[in-house]
Structure 1
Amino acid sequence: MLVLFFSAATLHAQEKYLFVNINTEYDEQNPVLSPDGQVLYFTRSNHAENAGGVLDKGDIWYSELMPDRSWSVPKNARRLNNKGWNAVLGFSSDGSTIYLHNHYTEMNNRVKTQGIAKAQRRTGGWSAPEDIDIPYFKNLSAIQGGSISMDGKVLVLSIESYGTKGAEDIYVVLKKGNDQWGEPKNLGSTVNSKYQEFTPFLADDNRTLYFSSNGRGGKGSSDVFVTQRLDDSWTNWSTPQGVDEVNTKGRELGYRLYEGFAIYSSTISSDGYSDLKIHTDRPLDSIIVVKEPEVKLDSGIRIVEAGKETLVAGPAITVYGKVKDVNTQDHIDAIVTIEHKDHDFKKEVATADDNGYYSLSIPAAGIYEVRIDAPGYISKRETLDVYTREMKLVEMNYELQPISVGTTVNLKNVLFQQSTANILDTSYEELDLVADIMKQNPSMKIRLEGHTDNRGVAKHNQRLSKKRVEAVEEYLVKKGISSNRISGKGYGGSKPIADNEDPELRKLNRRVEFTIVKE
Structure 2
Amino acid sequence: MRFYFLGLLIFCLSAGQAQDIFREVNSSYDEQLPVLSPDNKTLYFTRTRHPQNVGGVQDPGDIWYSELQEDGSWSAPANAVELNNRGYNGVIGFTVDSRTIYLLNHYNKDDSRAATQGVSRSIRRGNKWGNPENITIPYFLNRSENHGGYISVDGQVLLFSIEGYNTVGGEDIYVSFNEGNGKWSEPKNLGRTINTNAQEFTPYLSGDKQTLYFATNGHGGSGSSDIFMSTRLDDTWKNWSSPVPVPNINSQGRELGYRPYEGFALYTSTMNSDGYSDIRMYTDSPEQRIEPLVVDVPDSVLEEVQTTVEIDKNVIFGTVKSADNRTPIGNVTLRLTVGTQEQVVPVDAVTGTFSVPIIEEGSYLFSMDAPGFISNNETVLVEGDRNSSAIERQFLLQPITVGTTVQLPNVLFKRSSPDILSESYPELDRVVDFMRTNPSVQIRLEGHTDNTGVPKHNLRLSKARVESVEAYLVSKGINQKRITGKGYGGTKPIADNGNEETRRLNRRVEFTIVKE
Q: TM-score, normalised by structure 1?
A: 0.53
Residues 251, 88 of structure 1: alpha-carbon distance in 2 compared, 3 angstrom cutoff: same
Q: Is the 8 A contact 1:23 1:271 kept in 2?
A: no
Q: Structure 2: how far apart are the matches of 1:42 and 1:236?
A: 31
CA deviations on 1:377-406 (whole Å, 9 max, x unpaired) are xxxxxxxxxxxxxxxxxxxxxxxxxxxxxx
Shift of 1:109: 3.3
Equivalent residue number for residue 43 of structure 2: 40
Alignment of 1:177 onto 2:180:
yes
Q: Is the 8 A contact 1:211 1:224 kept in 2?
A: yes
Alignment of 1:124 onto 2:118:
no
Q: Which residue, out of 214, 226, 230, partners 1:227?
A: 230
CA deviations on 1:424-458 (whole Å, 9 max, x unpaired) are xxxxxxxxxxxxxxxxxxxxxxxxxxxxxxxxxxx
Q: Is the 8 A contact 1:252 1:267 kept in 2?
A: yes
| SS class of match (2:57) | helix
Question: Which amino acid in structure 2 is aligned with residue 170 of structure 1?
Answer: I
Alignment of 1:212 onto 2:215:
yes
CA deviations on 1:348-402 (whole Å, 9 max, x unpaired) are xxxxxxxxxxxxxxxxxxxxxxxxxxxxxxxxxxxxxxxxxxxxxxxxxxxxxxx
Equivalent residue number for residue 155 of structure 1: 158
Alignment of 1:189 onto 2:192:
yes
Q: Which residue, out of 239, 249, 260, partners 2:263?
A: 260
CA deviations on 1:466-514 (whole Å, 9 max, x unpaired) are xxxxxxxxxxxxxxxxxxxxxxxxxxxxxxxxxxxxxxxxxxxxxxxxx
Q: Structure 1: how far apart are the matches of 2:57 and 2:75?
A: 23
Shift of 1:94: 1.2
Equivalent residue number for residue 76 of structure 1: 79
CA deviations on 1:31-83 (whole Å, 9 max, x unpaired) are 00000000000000011000110111110000000000000000000000000
Shift of 1:168: 0.3
Q: Structure 2: how far apart are the matches of 1:122 and 1:194?
A: 43
Shift of 1:106: 5.8
Unaligned regions of 5+ residues in structure 1, if any? 293-519
Q: Which residue, out of 70, 88, 104, partners 2:107?
A: 104
Unaligned regions of 5+ residues in structure 2, if any? 1-11, 295-516
Residues 119, 238 of structure 1: alpha-carbon distance in 2 compared, 3 angstrom cutoff: same
Shift of 1:282: 1.0
Residues 151, 29 of structure 1: alpha-carbon distance in 2 compared, 3 angstrom cutoff: same
Shift of 1:290: 4.2
| SS class of match (2:19) | helix
Equivalent residue number for residue 299 of structure 2: none
Residues 245, 122 of structure 1: alpha-carbon distance in 2 compared, 3 angstrom cutoff: same
Aligned length: 284
CA deviations on 1:230-251 (whole Å, 9 max, x unpaired) are 0000001000001131000110
Aligned pairs for 1:394-473 within 5 A: none
| SS class of match (1:136) | coil
Q: Structure 2: how far apart are the matches of 1:103 and 1:124?
A: 22
Q: Structure 1: how far apart are the matches of 2:291 and 2:259?
A: 18
CA deviations on 1:112-137 (whole Å, 9 max, x unpaired) are 11000000011131111110011111
Question: Which amino acid in structure 2 is aligned with residue 196 of structure 1?
Answer: Q
| SS class of match (1:98) | strand
Residues 146, 109 of structure 1: alpha-carbon distance in 2 compared, 3 angstrom cutoff: closer
Bigger drift between 77-86 and 263-272 goes to: 263-272
Q: Structure 2: how far apart are the matches of 1:284 and 1:271?
A: 26
Q: Structure 1: how far apart are the matches of 2:150 and 2:117?
A: 15
CA deviations on 1:129-171 (whole Å, 9 max, x unpaired) are 1100111111000131010012110001000001111010000
Root-mean-square deviation over aligned CA pairs:
2.0
Q: TM-score, normalised by structure 2?
A: 0.53
Equivalent residue number for residue 290 of structure 2: 288
> Kindly, what percent of the aligned residue pairs are identical?
56
Alignment of 1:146 onto 2:130:
no
Residues 245, 291 of structure 1: alpha-carbon distance in 2 compared, 3 angstrom cutoff: closer
Shift of 1:187: 0.4
Q: Which residue, out of 24, 28, 32, partners 2:27?
A: 24
Q: Structure 2: how far apart are the matches of 1:94 and 1:165?
A: 37
Q: Is the 8 A contact 1:24 1:272 kept in 2?
A: no
Please list every run of at least 4 consecutive aligned residues from structure 1 whose deviation after the TM superposition is greater than 3 angstroms.
106-110
Aligned pairs for 1:381-396 within 5 A: none
Q: Is the 8 A contact 1:31 1:43 kept in 2?
A: yes
Question: Which amino acid in structure 2 is aligned with residue 216 of structure 1?
Answer: H
Aligned pairs for 1:466-481 within 5 A: none
Equivalent residue number for residue 309 of structure 2: none
Question: Which amino acid in structure 2 is aligned with residue 254 of structure 1?
Answer: G
Q: Structure 1: how far apart are the matches of 2:245 and 2:38?
A: 27
Q: Is the 8 A contact 1:106 1:112 kept in 2?
A: no
Q: Which residue, out of 133, 137, 156, partners 2:140?
A: 137
CA deviations on 1:222-266 (whole Å, 9 max, x unpaired) are 010000000000001000001131000110000001111110000
> Quick one: higher RCO (CA 8 Å, sep 6+), 1 or 2?
2
Question: Which amino acid in structure 1 is aligned with residue 105 of structure 2?
Answer: N
Q: Structure 2: how far apart are the matches of 1:117 and 1:108?
A: 14
Equivalent residue number for residue 279 of structure 2: 276
Q: Which residue, out of 168, 179, 183, partners 2:171?
A: 168
Question: Which amino acid in structure 2 is aligned with residue 103 of structure 1?
Answer: H
| SS class of match (1:79) | helix
